[in-house]
Amino acid sequence: MLVRLSFIFLGVSGIAAAWGGALALLTVATEQAGLPLGLPWRQVLLHIDPLSGFFLFIVGTITSITACYGPNYIKEHIGGPQPPGTLTFFTGLFVAAMLFVLLATDAFSFMVAWEIMSVSSYFLVVFEHHKAENRSAAFLYLLMAVIGGAIILLAYGVLAAFGGSFSFYAMATAQLSPTWATIAFLLAFVGFGMKAGIVPLHVWLPQAHPVAPSHVSALMSGVMLKVAVYGFIRFVWDLLGGILWQWGVLVLLIGAASAVLGVLYALMQHDLKRLLAYHSVENIGIIYIGLGLSMIFSATGHTGIAAVALIAALYHCLNHALFKSLLFLGAGAVLQQSHHHDMENMGGLVRRMPVTAICFLIGCISICALPPFNGFVSEWLIFQAALQGTVLKSGILGAMIPVASAMLALTSALAIACFVKVYGVIFLGRPRSRQAAEAQEVSFGMKSAQVILALCCLGFGIFPTWTVIAISTIPEQLLGTGLAKAAGNSWLWLTPIDKQTASYGAPSVLLGLLVSWLIVFFFLHPLKRDNRIRIAPAWDCGFGPLTPRMQYTAASFSMPIRRIFSFVWCIFEKTEPAQPGRGPRYFIKISDWSWLVFYIPIGKLLLQIAQRTSRIQGGNLRVYLAYSFFTLLFLLWVIV
């Protein structure tokens, strides 16, 4: 009962946040309020403008939809080893902290909220802490969150030193030299990038997101990463200002690398939720490609195109929140029913769980950026912005942008490969395990959350013009230019630059598809003929019954891609020949290069340093007193 009540509160707060955010975005309102919280001489100020309103809308929408999903999903934890109260309490705290981050208007309250967000989500990740892998994943997450938080603090420190205060107003007016501005930018890029999960700072993401309960994974992947993107946009566009094109190039390249590597790593995963987590890395990469383009164009004075790129990035934030939450909720439904994390044990779920299967299919189409769903619109906008690269004078930039758009094209093509694998192995074919064969459709609340998200994916794909007009208040606020011409024509057409350059009529495309479908259907089903279908076993080449083990598996499906791009992964492959009593065996382990190249050396170095420094730890009290004494002397010397 208490659990249900907590989810009702969560849903109501989500709706309130979404409502407030949408109002701020649509009416271009800027509101402030003081809160009697925190230190006596520093009142906590809250501030809402179109940028934070847009992200509030994302957080609120996804929160309220997951609140429909949660009560039935966590039923299995009631009476389990961990009390569900922990889960509901920290979920509430987590959402509250995210909302507070979006509303904070000074670095002090921003950082407090940011750290609460990290810590509360740590408790959600570690919820099932009786499993050792969850503990280590959660520790990695906490470690990265702490380091990232410290780096963001340094970035704010630079701005505060020049602005003279922690308030965002003072920071926005601070005058920085290009060197200091670049230092602040790099710190913010790394700090927020750590939370957003750009390559190579993404390693915590595929570890931590899968082990949390699914509705929390949806919140973390769909929403928390967007809060990091919000922080980055707020810092660079609003507070720092004076963007240099070199920053844009860095963001563009890292974004392209994240997109391609994210999807390639995802292709090799067999754990459904881990695969989805790697796709978050990919989508964050796509968002960063849009942001990088926007930075390059605004730094070179083409604010109109910069606005298109920024809108594309923001639109992709919204889209990713919708379809990634949908996919994580679908994954949760599948896990709850099949009790397997590994895709190789699933199969044939489309017949057992039809509603989940249809919603998941819509999520797959959306994330693959296929028309007429929402993911396509934002990638289309990014391509349109990239195609304007010829306006740039510099040859390097002119060459960089097409390469980035080629990477984006490769990413979306590989994403299709990946989701054909996911959908084909999990939902289609024959069940590969007893649990998959006995799966049942999930309860009404869980279904309805998925259906709402699927409808949102369709809606934001078919009516992109209204969405773009609504979002274009943000570039008006940050860059001084909106998209006047997007609304110039009717709502049927999306024309980001102008009518001659490019147009996309999403509603008419959908109409055309449906009409041609109907014509073909009636053409092939004449009334006077018997159109019945005969059901028969699949053709087995005359060799006896087909078994589920004869199907293509996830590993065999992605094998050609594994072979072509084999330099991307660190692959360990071993075949054992058949022995008496058992058949041949095949082992494969695919790991992430960034672990081997960055993290393991850094970890070793840290251990070595720790061992060296442990020598000064003698255990003798007098020696420690001497340390304190000399430190005190040193500090006095420094100050005086």
- Torsion, Cα of 404, 309, 49, 465 (10° steps): -130
- Torsion, Cα of 433, 435, 439, 442 (10° steps): -130
Burial label, 15 (beta-carbon count in 10 A; 0-12, 13-18, 19+): middle
User: Quick one: which of 589, 592, 587, 574 has its CA closest to 264?
Assistant: 592
Total residues contacting another protein by CB under 8 A comes to 85
Among 143, 550, 600, 633, binds another protein (CB under 8 A): 550
Among 140, 154, 437, 559, binds another protein (CB under 8 A): 559
Question: At which residue do the structure tokens 């990413």 appear?
Answer: 411
Q: How far is CA 366 from CA 307, 321, 469, 558, in A?
A: 24, 11, 21, 21
Distance CA 467, CA 448 (A): 24
Is there binding between residue 22 and another protein (CB under 8 A)? no
Is there binding between residue 508 and another protein (CB under 8 A)? yes
Is there binding between residue 384 and another protein (CB under 8 A)? yes
Among 434, 528, 532, 574, binds another protein (CB under 8 A): 532
Among 16, 26, 183, 509, binds another protein (CB under 8 A): 509
Kindly indicate which of the ranges 4-12, 221-229, 376-384, 459-467 contains the residues binding another protein, using the contact rule CB under 8 A: 376-384
Residues 300-359 that bind another protein (CB under 8 A): 347-348, 350-351, 354, 357
DSSP assignment string, 563-608: HHTTTSSEEEEEEE--BTTB--EEEEEEE-HHIIIIIHHHHHHHHH
Among 371, 433, 459, 595, binds another protein (CB under 8 A): 371
Is there binding between residue 586 and another protein (CB under 8 A)? no
Minimum CB separation of residue 493 from another protein in Å reads: 7
Kindly indicate which of the ranges 32-40, 79-87, 365-373, 625-633 contains the residues binding another protein, using the contact rule CB under 8 A: 365-373
Q: How far is CA 26 from the centre of its chain?
A: 25
Is there binding between residue 467 and another protein (CB under 8 A)? no
Is there binding between residue 463 and another protein (CB under 8 A)? no
Residues 430-449 that bind another protein (CB under 8 A): 430
Distance CA 442, CA 360 (A): 13
Is there binding between residue 555 and another protein (CB under 8 A)? no
Nearer Cβ to another protein (67/264):
264
Where would I find the beta strands (DSSP E) of 179-247? none
Among 173, 516, 591, 631, binds another protein (CB under 8 A): 516
Minimum CB separation of residue 229 from another protein in Å reads: 24
Minimum CB separation of residue 373 from another protein in Å reads: 9
Is there binding between residue 490 and another protein (CB under 8 A)? no
Nearer Cβ to another protein (231/505):
505
Minimum CB separation of residue 429 from another protein in Å reads: 4
Is there binding between residue 459 and another protein (CB under 8 A)? no
**What's the token pair of residue 15?**
């709706």
Is there binding between residue 221 and another protein (CB under 8 A)? no
Distance CA 345, CA 548 (A): 10
User: Kindly report the CA angle at 467 between 466 and 469, in degrees rounded to 5?
Assistant: 65
Among 164, 560, 601, 603, binds another protein (CB under 8 A): 560
Minimum CB separation of residue 510 from another protein in Å reads: 10
Distance CA 558, CA 465 (A): 37
Is there binding between residue 130 and another protein (CB under 8 A)? no
Is there binding between residue 500 and another protein (CB under 8 A)? yes
Kindly indicate which of the ranges 100-108, 128-136, 278-286, 506-514 contains the residues binding another protein, using the contact rule CB under 8 A: 506-514
Site string for another protein, 397-436 (x = CB under 8 A): -xx--xx-xx--xx-xxx-xx-xxx-xxx-xxxx------
Is there binding between residue 628 and another protein (CB under 8 A)? no
Question: At which residue do the structure tokens 């005969």 appear?
Answer: 534
Nearer Cβ to another protein (4/351):
351
Is there binding between residue 625 and another protein (CB under 8 A)? no
> Which 8-state DSSP code applies to residue 82?
S
Distance CA 122, CA 118 (A): 6
Q: How far is CA 244 from CA 189, 306, 386, 514, in A?
A: 14, 13, 18, 47
The answer to whether 286 touches 408, Cβ cutoff 8 Å, is: yes
Among 1, 536, 638, 640, binds another protein (CB under 8 A): 536
Distance CA 17, CA 27 (A): 15
Strand-pairing partners, residue 9, are: none
Strand-pairing partners, residue 425, are: none
Distance CA 400, CA 246 (A): 12
